[in-house]
């Protein structure tokens, strides 16, 4: 049984400051989440009253730690969080929304077209399936997808050398990072940190786990797997010509 849609609450003053000239598009996206997002089962109806603070702004402030003009892959994008809010505040980025479920990618494509986000593409697939088939990116983002060790196994191999994964996490971020260090080391991770963004905009500030890789994202095993997938992709394109 489909959930009933709800009305988007009024935007806090901070939303206009954060989204700037794209604030009307942010409102439209919030309305879509409150309506189609709920009826299609992408978000729970209880999340609607806190869409601005907990979801839209919480994700938009991630832009504080994303470098200028880079490529981004939002792994397990779901309803477009954090990828869509990030795209609204950062037109300089080239963003890919990666999501395996058809009903979600359908929603994402509708949002991208409706909001005129020309710098955003939607790709249906799992991270482990598209490795080697899509260009490696500077930054991988994720929110509420999986525990850090498992998330890194999906996201880190998609990075370019010396790229970074930025994962929005909760209060247990430090503890989760500590427990994942061994797994991260095997994936070619060379530095980790926990940073807080959105001071004075969201309360509490958003917590981000930053995972930086060296010259071999994913480690030796994933480098070989990525190369094999890339060869297979090139061979497939050659047969279609």
At 123-148, the pLDDT tens digits run 999 999 998 889 999 999 999 778 89
Whose CA is closest to 114, among 140, 63, 80, 81? 80
User: What global pTM score does this model have?
Assistant: 0.90
Distance (Å, whole) CA 57 – CA 214: 31
pLDDT > 90: percent of the chain: 81
- Tell me which residue has tokens 């498992």: 150
Q: What is the pLDDT of residue 1?
A: 42
Residue the block writes with tokens 């009305």: 7
For residue 67, is pLDDT > 70? yes
The angle that helices 148-155 and 173-186 make with each other, rounded to 10 degrees, is 40
Span 197-207, pLDDT tens digits: 999 999 999 99
What is the pLDDT, as a whole number, of residue 148?
A: 93
Q: Are 10 and 37 in contact (CB under 8 A)?
A: no
How large is the average pLDDT for residues 52-74?
A: 97
Other C-beta atoms closer than 10 Å to the C-beta of 174 total 12
């Amino acid at each position: 049984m489909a959930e009933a849609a709800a009305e988007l609450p009024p935007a806090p003053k901070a939303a206009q400051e954060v989204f700037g000239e794209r604030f009307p598009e942010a409102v439209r996206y919030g309305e879509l989440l409150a309506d189609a997002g709920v009826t299609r089962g992408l978000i729970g109806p209880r999340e609607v009253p806190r869409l601005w603070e907990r979801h839209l702004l919480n994700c938009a402030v991630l832009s504080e730690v994303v470098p200028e003009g880079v490529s981004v892959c939002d792994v397990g994008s779901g309803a477009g969080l954090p990828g869509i809010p990030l795209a609204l505040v950062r037109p300089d980025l080239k963003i890919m929304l990666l999501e395996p479920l058809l009903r979600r990618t359908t929603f994402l494509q509708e949002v991208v077209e409706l909001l005129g986000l020309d710098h955003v593409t939607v790709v249906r697939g799992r991270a482990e399936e598209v490795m080697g088939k899509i260009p490696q990116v500077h930054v991988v983002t994720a929110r509420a997808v999986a525990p850090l060790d498992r998330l890194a196994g999906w996201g880190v191999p998609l990075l370019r050398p010396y790229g970074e994964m930025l994962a929005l996490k909760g209060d247990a971020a430090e503890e989760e990072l500590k427990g994942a260090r061994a797994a991260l080391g095997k994936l070619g991770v060379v530095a980790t940190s926990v940073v807080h963004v959105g001071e004075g905009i969201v309360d509490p500030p958003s917590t981000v786990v930053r995972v930086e890789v060296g010259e071999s994202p994913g480690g030796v095993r994933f480098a070989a797997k990525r190369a094999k997938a890339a060869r297979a992709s090139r061979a497939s394109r050659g047969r279609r010509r």
